[in-house]
Each structure stands twice: as C-alpha cells, then as structure tokens.
C-alpha cells in the first residue's frame, strides 16, 4: 500500500462501513472495501491502457460522480496527478488549455 493511499488504509480499518451513497444510481451504498476495489481497478486500467505512472498528469472533464472519485483515488494510487478541467468552460476555452 502506498503511504498516501488513504482509501486503501480506510478499507483495511473499516471495510464494511458505508463510504459513499451513490445518489445518481438509486442511493446505492458503497462500502470502503468496494470503493477501494473500484479505485484499484481504475488505477490498473490507467496504468495498463494509458501507461500512467508516478508524476504523470491526467486531465479530466467531469461532473461530480462516483466514477470521478474512482479516477481521483485511482490516480493517487499510481502517484498520478489529477488535473481538473472546469465543465463550465466552453469548448473553445477548453481547447485553449490543451
């Protein structure tokens, strides 16, 4: 476990405690164990599909949702850096950031 892997540590301490309530999907309760597993799967996907490693920046355009949290914590497990893009910006403004 990475020293800064808060989610991994929390899933070890209280694996069956509710961590999140997914209000976009029928108020589904997500435990720390399930959330950590999902974040690990996201980290593995980023590492194997896009070769994301420690220090790499990943720009994300998303609103708040569980998938966004999986991305944030998954990148943290890899040592990647999440670069948020503001969803309120126009396409023209976003292109200027790339």
pLDDT digits over 55-67, tens only? 999 999 998 899 9
Tell me the pTM. Answer: 0.85
* Contact call for residues 18 and 50 (beta carbons, < 8 A): no
Q: How many helices (H) and strands (E) does the chain have?
A: 4, 4
**Pairing assessment for the beta strands 18-22 and 28-31 based on DSSP bridges:** antiparallel
Nearest to 43 by CA among 1, 84, 10: 1
Q: What is the pLDDT of residue 87?
A: 86
Q: CA 53, CA 28: separation in Å to the nearest integer?
A: 31
Q: What is the pLDDT of residue 8?
A: 94
């Amino acid at each position: 476990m990475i020293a800064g892997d808060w989610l991994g540590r929390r899933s070890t301490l209280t694996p069956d405690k509710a961590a999140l309530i997914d209000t976009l999907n029928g108020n589904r309760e997500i435990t720390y164990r399930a959330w950590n597993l999902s974040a690990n799967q996201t980290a593995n996907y980023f590492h194997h599909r896009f070769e994301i490693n420690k220090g790499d920046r990943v720009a994300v355009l998303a609103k708040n949702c569980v998938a966004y949290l999986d991305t944030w914590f998954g990148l943290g497990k890899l040592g990647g850096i999440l670069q948020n893009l503001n969803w309120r910006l126009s396409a023209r403004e976003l292109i200027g950031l790339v």
